[in-house]
Structures are given as C-alpha cells and as structure tokens.
Amino acid sequence: MPAATTEEIMLELVDEDGTTIGTAEKLSAHRAPGRLHRAFSVFLFDTAGRMLIQQRAPGKYHSPGVWSNSCCGHPYPGESPLAAAARRTYEELGVSPALLAEAGTVTYHHPDPASGLVEHEYNHLFAGLLRAAPRPAADEVGDVAFVTADELARRHAEDPFSAWFMTVLDAARPAIRELTGPASGW
C-alpha cells in the first residue's frame, strides 16, 4: 500500500476543552485561519539533564529547517496522544524513550509567516528520558543536539525556532523540572 500523502492524513478536530468534534485532512487543518486540532509535543532528556532538540528536515512542508522540541506531531483519529508520541519519537528519531510521562496540555494559535500555514493546536505535552543515541530519519530531521538550558537560550536567540516552541516549552516546564531536577536549570 502506498504511503499517505500529507493531505490524506486525518487529524482530530477538537473544541477548547479537547473533546473530539470531527476530523480534517492535515494540510486543510493548517490552512489559515487554522482549525483547532489535537497535537503532541515531546521533550526528551539525556541522563545529564540536557534536552534533545531537533532541526526539522529541509523538505518538511511546514516549518522546514527550524529548530524545535525533540519530537512533535498529531495522533491519528482514535489514537491516544501518548501512543502517538511514542510512535512518532521512534519514527523521527529512531529511538524509544526509556520513560515518557504526561506534562500537561496547552492550546495556541501561531501563524507561520514563512509558509502561510497556521498551528492552532490543543497540544498534549510529554517529557521523557533517552538512554540510547538518536538515529534520526533524514526525511524528518535535519540535525539534532543535546543542550543545557543556557545553551538553548543562546541558540534560541541566534537560530530560527518553530513558532510553537516557546509556548510548549513554557507550558511543559513544571513537569520538565520534576523530571530533571532543579539543578538542571529548566
């Protein structure tokens, strides 16, 4: 069976409470003004408390070449956000987290001026630990880096990051601090 194109992938549309209200094709949900849909964002850390960030592959239809959190995506209709996060982490990074825990939810509406697309998402957040080296899929990930909180601040000031990155990071910080400990600086 041929792989689904971007427009054939269906997403769950949700209301402001995160209740599923229907489905839409992936690209149509991201066209302005954007339709609120379910998504997830993953933040992975090594045993030293450094965050894994990824640079999105240059061929991605949305936000290509920018840095972002460890992994993000959309559950298929009926798929749990946790299962989707674990699935996409393996598909994008070639590794499964040793631990993956819920870190809250956040809703946002971020236009991407470069593509004209819109991220209007009810985003389930996850934080986890990696004990193996990532093996990124080249069609998904351009580069990866493990960074401390200070290194991330420097990179964020100098390099392009996804429109949603700071929103999801700020919302996940309490769970990240619980996972990595207060000395990590997150």
> What positions carry a catalytic annotation?
72, 121
* Of 155, 180, 34, 161, nearest in space to 103 by CA: 180
Closest CA to 130 of 45, 63, 67: 45
CA–CA gap between residue 35 and residue 15 (Å, rounded): 10
